[in-house]
């Protein structure tokens, strides 16, 4: 299945993309795509329903983030061998984890405000997933059963905040709308294997990232296993898994975003996002 959330910001409803690409309103089946409503039982209820009997969403309606109100929004740094190389960093021996503020999520086509005092705003196309059943001390072989679905994340970053203002990376990763998610949440049965998905990102029509999950250092089952040794992952928690080469920081000379720039990005099987960078109010 391809699941979405549609409507004005803060008033989104859950939806299903039918076989004709139309969005069907599933709010009579589940109140939202969040927390316990992402459980296997809940997804099975949606899948078993005749989509043709569900009401259509308004044509051209805004898409919100495909997951609502995550309790945790975790990210994995330097998780692609070719990206680690472009940044001059060694291959991590263990996954490098950091937090993005859960309230930085936004729709896949929402504008992204440039933070006040921003100097080095950057882009990162990533494959993300959401937990559907609680995961704590999970064996790697059992990890895939805990995934409710996959989607694109643009891990928007402010490198000056992240790397030059001391402390943790979180401060460079958590500004408003620094976590566009979607357009769709794609269930594992529909997406299939995640080990060789092409990933790309364009800025103002120029392809700047062109990679594949094939160069991922720590793959998704291992990430779930690893993270679950340090914390419990609850339904609705989001993990974004790292980016391939071509980020602004990796260019020579480095290049960064400015107001008016347009980011367009995609991952095989997960659709396309597009955001415009705007000046901060």
Whether residue 67 lies inside any domain: the answer is no
Residues 91, 13 within the same domain: no
Q: Which is nearest to 110 in space by CA: 64, 173, 151?
A: 64
Whether residue 61 lies inside any domain: the answer is no
Least confident range of 164-168, 182-186, 243-247: 164-168
Residues 230, 163 within the same domain: yes
Whether residue 64 lies inside any domain: the answer is no
The whole-angstrom separation of Cα 33 and Cα 11 is 13
Whether residue 13 lies inside any domain: the answer is yes
Residues 118, 217 within the same domain: yes
Q: What is the rounded average pLDDT of the residues 137-141?
A: 98
Summarize pLDDT for 97-118 with one digit per residue, the tens.
999 999 999 999 999 999 999 9
Residues 45, 175 within the same domain: no
Beta-strand runs (E) in the chain: 2-6, 13-17, 23-25, 73-77, 96-99, 105-106, 112-114, 121-122, 125-131, 147-154, 157-158, 179-180, 185-186, 198-203, 206-212, 238-240, 262-267, 272-279
Residue 30's φ and ψ, nearest 5 degrees, are -140, 140
| Number of domains making up the chain | 2
What confidence category does residue 63 fall into, taking pLDDT thresholds of 50, 70 and 90? very high
pLDDT at 117: 92
The DSSP call for residue 181 is B
Residue 227: which CATH number? 3.90.850.10
Summarize pLDDT for 19-61 with one digit per residue, the tens.
999 999 999 999 999 999 999 999 999 999 999 999 999 999 9
Residues 87, 26 within the same domain: no
Whether residue 24 lies inside any domain: the answer is yes
Exposed/middle/buried for 141, CB within 10 Å: 0-12, 13-18, 19+?
Answer: exposed
Residues 21, 96 within the same domain: no
Whether residue 60 lies inside any domain: the answer is no
Whether residue 139 lies inside any domain: the answer is yes
pLDDT at 166: 84
The domain containing residue 107 runs over which residues? Answer: 73-279
């Amino acid at each position: 299945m391809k699941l979405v959330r549609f409507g004005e910001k803060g008033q989104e409803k859950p939806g299903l993309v039918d076989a004709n690409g139309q969005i069907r309103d599933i709010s009579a089946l589940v109140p939202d795509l969040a927390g316990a409503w992402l459980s296997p039982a809940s997804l099975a209820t949606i899948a078993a329903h005749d989509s043709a009997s569900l009401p259509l969403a308004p044509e051209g309606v805004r898409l919100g983030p495909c997951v609502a109100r995550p309790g945790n929004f975790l990210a994995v740094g330097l998780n692609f061998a070719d990206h680690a190389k472009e940044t001059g960093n060694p291959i991590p021996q263990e996954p490098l984890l950091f937090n993005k503020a859960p309230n930085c999520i936004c729709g896949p086509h929402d504008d992204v405000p440039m933070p006040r005092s921003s100097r080095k705003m950057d882009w990162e196309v990533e494959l993300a997933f959401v937990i559907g059943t609680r995961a704590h001390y999970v064996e790697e072989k059992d990890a895939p059963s805990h995934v409710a679905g996959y989607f694109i994340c643009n891990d928007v970053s402010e490198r000056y905040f992240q790397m030059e203002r001391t402390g943790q990376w979180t401060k460079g990763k958590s500004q408003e709308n620094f976590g566009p998610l979607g357009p769709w949440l794609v269930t594992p049965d529909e997406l299939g294997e995640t080990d060789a998905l092409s990933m790309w990102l364009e800025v103002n029509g120029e392809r700047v990232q062109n990679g594949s999950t094939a160069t991922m250092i720590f793959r998704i089952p291992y990430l779930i296993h690893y993270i679950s040794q340090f914390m419990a992952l609850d339904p609705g928690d989001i993990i974004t898994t790292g980016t391939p080469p071509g980020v602004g920081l990796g260019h020579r000379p480095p290049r960064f975003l400015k107001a008016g720039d347009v980011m367009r990005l995609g991952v095989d099987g997960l659709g396309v996002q597009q955001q415009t960078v705007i000046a901060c109010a």
